[in-house]
Structure 1
Amino acid sequence: MAMSATQWKMPPLVKVYEALGAIGDGRVRIENSRRATVVSSDESKTYEVETSADGREIASNDNASYWQGYVGYPAIAVLLARGFYRPPANVTDALAGVAWKDLNRKFKNDWARTIAEVEQNLEQAGHDPDTVRSEADAVLSFLRALRPVRGKRIRPPAEKPALKTR
């Protein structure tokens, strides 16, 4: 009997925000029908993501995918960029330019505090945080329904010196 593929754990909501931000920033590059790359928010890393034609089998070399076993933001961003789910532009635009790594470090990966800060900044910039949150929830629902499985494990990339700080 064939071994069943391991299903990915669902990510924390903040990772959906990060994925939406990566789309807003244009940091996702589709290489071909399977491969894509995603540049980190501080541009210090480029992640590799491979998906099957239907998007269900995903391999990604970001730290969360590799070490935590949940679908990391690069994989989510690639699924969105490939059109498996299409978030509205006002939401991806609202999350463009967020320095995720800095925020995650500032709040010691306390995702609720990171989201609270992002939502406060969204409001100050004239965006509706409730619209963004409900869209992030919808992406999470899409992921649950997709029930993605793990592709091959790819070791995370080494960090390069950051090219810029946001």
Structure 2
Amino acid sequence: MSNVSYYTAEGLKKLRDEIEFLKSVERPKASQAIADARDKGDLSENAEYDAAKEAQGLLELKIAKMEEVLANARLIDESQLDTSKVLVLSTVRIKNKVNGMELTYKLVAESEADLKSGKISVTSPIGKGLLGKSVGEIAEISVPNGTLKFEILEISRD
């Protein structure tokens, strides 16, 4: 069974670009490394040749996996998303009920998550806890060190 994953246009372009880079730059490098090692003589005792072949195999496996992800990728139409509830691609401003700290996160697919840029996965504990909530609701989220309570202040789309 295939795993469908949802992407923004930006995330899908990034995935396609990475696959293209691996095919057009890294694949020829791997082939050249094998050819260079082959030119050095006896293949039965050539560790460099074996290493180059193994690296090529790993590269081909990575390309195949990424192509499978791309084949099962679905583009999210942001214009069709409801802004009254927290959904994937929502930008959510929340307030920690314990310390009063306000945070802003954008909920994205797991493959696009990047905490440094404020993007959290919808499959993370906080992402799951916020999904489906409306402005004014309190989200109680179980995390390894207890329960966090966040008030939903604002939901928007970028």
Asked if Structure 1 and Structure 2 have the same fold, meaning a TM-score greater than 0.5 normalized by the shorter chain, the answer is no
Structure number with the higher strand fraction is 2
TM-score, structure 1 as length reference: 0.22
Q: Which has the higher contact order (CA 8 A, sep 6+)?
A: 1
- Which has the higher Rg, Structure 1 or Structure 2? 2
